[in-house]
Structure 1
Amino acid sequence: MHKPAAEEEITSLHDLSAVDLIAGYRARQFSPSEVLDEVIEHVAAWEPHIKALYLFDPDGARAAAKASTDRWQREEPAGALDGVPVTIKDNIATKGQPIPLGAASVRLIPAEKDAPPAARLRESGAIIFSKTTMPDYGMLSSGLSSFHPLTRNPWDLTKNPGGSSAGAGAAGAAGYGPLHLGTDIGGSVRLPACWCGLVALKPSLGRVPIDPPYVGRVAGPMTRTVDDAALMMCVLAKADRRDGMSLPADSSIHWKTLDKSPRKLRIGLMLDPGTGQALESDVRSVIVSAAKTFESAGAVVTEVDGILTREMLDGLDNFWRARMWDDLSRLSPEERGKTLPYILKWAEAGAKLSGVDVIRGFNATMAIRAAAAKLFHDLDYVVSPVSPVVNFPAEFAAPINDPSKPFEHIAYTVPWNMSENPAVSINGGYDSKGFPIGVQIIGRRFDDLGVLGMAKAFEGLRGPQRPWPSPPKK
């Protein structure tokens, strides 16, 4: 599937990082139009196999790239990402385009304006050439959707890219340019990053303004390198008053300053989240190796217990079922019937929950927050798996694929949404077949820069990476 290192070609423009693209534009080595043409050509080779895109707009993108090329020729770039190709997840509003939320039951109504993350990217000069796919209502860690075609993993087309930022993960691994924007309420940028070999930051709640805001819901970068994630955050973390849960703009944060030594830092190694799906041995090996890497660099590593309980996870499940049923119950029976059967069966159970059941479920968020605060009292960072499993079939809605047990695989990721801590996924190694396995690094609330700094340190210590997947030969 992959070319041996000796046979690798010179890096193509579509494989260059955003940092390198900006440097190349500034040095006039190539133009945004040339880069976009290569990306479009590469998309044509991959897209029939992985189905990562929605509303792909090559003509509109070419016009934007031409305008960017003209700006660079005048040495007047619009912003930090001028001319860099970007994809945006289906559920992040872009003006004039519908927001199907991955569900055939959603009415296709054009958005009146860009959501904050899309607005910041557009203002920076980024070339938004496509939206990306997601599962119904973002409530699956899967590329399965009732609206979009099945999205597959470029590393192995029989496997799932994860979700709910499914198309973003697949597009990143396939080399559809360097920058992809996803959202995460329980693991939805980190899980696809884990299964697609990418870097993905779930910021502290409010660090990236988003509309509509919600408990635990964030937007975050999905990239191939830590530097690109930091560059994207330079743009995404700017203020927007539409998000009443957003943090005040902090001019003291310099996202490009990622130099950080693990020396003398206190790191917790969390191999057991406290509940959920059993940890597979290949994943355990990669995470233990990552912890030893930090230890060799001078960190003090201690194994710690997980903070999630069965009651907490089941409580979140009940709360989300009720929330989903609230949305679906407002639809006509015909519209509701278009929902993915797995999601419909899962949500219908929410109709049978009492008000007390639902409020107990919501209160799990506060219990998780208290447990996280206690955990980080004596720790600087925590290292853990992102997913308990290496991969699962492309056609599955989730690793277990049972709507009565929908969230057994998010026990390592969902606590940090509810506690609002920043967490990053970065590739840590591979299984025997060369499939990527992500490592999660979690920091204290608001220490987004520190989490990226730790990921950058690990990126330099983890050793050589396998080549990215190549499109299947016709």
Structure 2
Amino acid sequence: MAFSNPLSGAEDLCLLSSTELASAYRTREISPVEVAQAAMDRAEAVNPDFNAFTFIDRAGALSAAAASDKRWLAGEPLSPVDGVPATLKDIVWVKDWSVRYGSTTTSDIPYGEDAPAVALMRAAGLVFTAQTTTPEFGWKAITDGVLSGVTRNPWNAAKTPGGSSGGAAVAAAVGAGVFHLGTDGGGSIRIPASFTGIVGLKPTFGRVPAYPASAFGTVAHLGPMTRSADDALAMLKTMSGRSLADWNQGAGVLPSLDAEPVDLRGKRIGHWFASPCGPVDPEVAAIVDAAVARLEKAGAIVERITLPGDNLLDLFHHHWFTGAAARLAAIPLDQRSAIDPGFLEIARDGAAYTSTALVTAQVRRADFGAAMDQLLSEYDFIVSPGTAIPAFDAGLEVPADGSYTRWTQWAGFSFPINLSQQPACVIPCGLTAEGLPVGFQIIGARGEDARVLLAAANLEALFSS
């Protein structure tokens, strides 16, 4: 199955933005119950083709939507997005939901509490409609596994939607909800956003609280996946805040998410054009170059740049593979035969690193992060391809042509920004000849999440004009 547009044929309610929904709730044109029902109907209708949802919580969602409806009727919504439907990835704790991390080795007993980001979203009145798929422990940039099977791309079901937040990306692309929570440890929000033609933001590290701490450490982030940059900003506001459960947030206060519109005219922008660990597909490069040319025509000052640092792939592997080793160490030996063989491979590679090598990698990371902060003091934004390649065949970690052996090798525009922790947003900028989306990444200085999303909104308008 292939779609010229994943939203074609969707019910009108599935196409509305969070702002449009709030306006309609306020005037009583539609109710949160109607919208929740439409989002779940849409999820149920597309799941046989795309396998993006582990379950749909009709009872819980309709109860939450009815409560939201009463609040809007009383003129007392909990937030401007009260009653907006949202999905949650099978990797964050949700009260009364089983959260399996995409693994058969985990318990199916429902959790008794929300993760901090989920609690903040619930406090804003969001309606949780469904849980989305992930590969086992979110270890790779595609979405398949023993527990939930293969998740497929709605633009072409033979292709992968990317990962590890592939289910969330599909949910956004097909209109099964407005807000979708993803996680990103090496590109897991931005890669599927690029492959499915949606918007995905990896926030500044610490902007969104995380608990329990990820085994993959401080490269791991939680963030929004939506159909527009405006919705991503609205969702980010619901997820952000300080949680004493997340020690990694530190005590610092990040800049407010309220910001003035960003005019791209006169802005100095670095065009990061070369992946640090592999070639860029010529068609992807041409589409992104054309988008950059439109940015220049709109008045931005664009200069081609390379990133500071060397051997960033090796640096990331030290952090990612040792995280996998730590996660594997918590799993009993008699259960490991059921685990994704690829995960076992990187965990074993991670266990082979010495403590000295890991500490050295942490020092190298600090040097790279400082150099990135310096670079983003010289440029207003950095832009790049969202991914070096378009979506490839579903069920594979790497394209079948033999050019790569591990997903990290084709994710070179993603994982460096996990190491350096800046906000990075991917938006669509065109289609390949095969009709597959190509993503465009916008990176800003740490703390400048709102400016990145406001710039992304400008670029959305520019690319669609």
Give your verdict on TM over 0.5: yes
Amino acid at match of 2:156: D
- Bigger shift: residues 79-88 or 7-16: 7-16
Q: Deviation of residue 149 (structure 1)?
A: 2.0
Distance 2:49 2:11 in 1: 22
Write the mapping of 1:55-454 to structure 2, written as runs, cut at 5 A: 55-213=55-213, 214-246=217-249, 253-255=256-258, 257=259, 259-273=261-275, 275-307=276-308, 309-310=310-311, 312-399=312-399, 405-454=406-455
Corresponding position of 1:471: none
Distance 1:449 1:63 in 2: 32
| CA 403–323 in structure 1, closer or farther in 2 if over 3 Å, else same | farther
Distance 2:101 2:406 in 1: 22
| CA 89–381 in structure 1, closer or farther in 2 if over 3 Å, else same | same
8 A Cα contact 1:141 1:398, kept in partner: no
**Helix, strand or coil for the counterpart of 2:262?**
coil
| CA 258–106 in structure 1, closer or farther in 2 if over 3 Å, else same | farther
**Helix, strand or coil for the counterpart of 1:158?**
coil
Corresponding position of 1:31: 31
Distance 1:299 1:106 in 2: 50
**Helix, strand or coil for the counterpart of 1:55?**
strand
Q: Deviation of residue 177 (structure 1)?
A: 1.4
The number of residues matched between the two structures is 460
8 A Cα contact 2:89 2:167, kept in partner: yes
Q: Deviation of residue 265 (structure 1)?
A: 0.9
- C-alpha distance after superposition, 1:157-188 (max 9, x if no partner): 01111111111011111110111011111111
8 A Cα contact 1:425 1:441, kept in partner: yes
Distance 1:188 1:308 in 2: 22
Distance 2:26 2:212 in 1: 36
Q: Deviation of residue 425 (structure 1)?
A: 0.4
- C-alpha distance after superposition, 1:341-398 (max 9, x if no partner): 1211222223333223333334342232133123224211111011100111111124
Distance 1:73 1:25 in 2: 8
- C-alpha distance after superposition, 1:24-43 (max 9, x if no partner): 11111111111122222212
Corresponding position of 2:456: 455
8 A Cα contact 1:267 1:300, kept in partner: yes
Distance 1:166 1:241 in 2: 30
8 A Cα contact 1:258 1:452, kept in partner: no
8 A Cα contact 2:40 2:56, kept in partner: no
**TM-score, structure 1 length as denominator?**
0.91
Distance 1:45 1:319 in 2: 39
**Helix, strand or coil for the counterpart of 2:433?**
coil
**Helix, strand or coil for the counterpart of 1:309?**
coil
- C-alpha distance after superposition, 1:225-262 (max 9, x if no partner): 1110111122112332222232668696244x452101
Distance 1:372 1:250 in 2: 20
Can you give the 5+ residue segments of structure 1 that lack an aligned partner in the other structure?
465-474
Distance 2:362 2:148 in 1: 30
Distance 1:333 1:3 in 2: 47
What is the percentage of aligned positions where both structures have the same residue? Answer: 32
Distance 2:404 2:267 in 1: 41
8 A Cα contact 1:207 1:247, kept in partner: no
Distance 1:143 1:174 in 2: 17
Amino acid at match of 2:269: I
Can you give the 5+ residue segments of structure 2 that lack an aligned partner in the other structure?
none
Distance 1:45 1:34 in 2: 16
Q: Deviation of residue 403 (structure 1)?
A: 9.1
**Helix, strand or coil for the counterpart of 2:70?**
helix
Distance 2:398 2:348 in 1: 18
| CA 402–286 in structure 1, closer or farther in 2 if over 3 Å, else same | closer
8 A Cα contact 2:316 2:419, kept in partner: no
Q: Deviation of residue 222 (structure 1)?
A: 0.3
Amino acid at match of 2:287: V
Corresponding position of 1:469: none
Residue 46 (1) aligns with residue 46 (2): yes
Distance 1:402 1:279 in 2: 12
- Bigger shift: residues 240-249 or 164-173: 240-249
Distance 2:325 2:384 in 1: 33
- C-alpha distance after superposition, 1:91-150 (max 9, x if no partner): 111113333211222334432311111001111111001111111111100111222221
8 A Cα contact 1:316 1:362, kept in partner: no
**Helix, strand or coil for the counterpart of 1:68?**
helix
8 A Cα contact 1:345 1:403, kept in partner: no
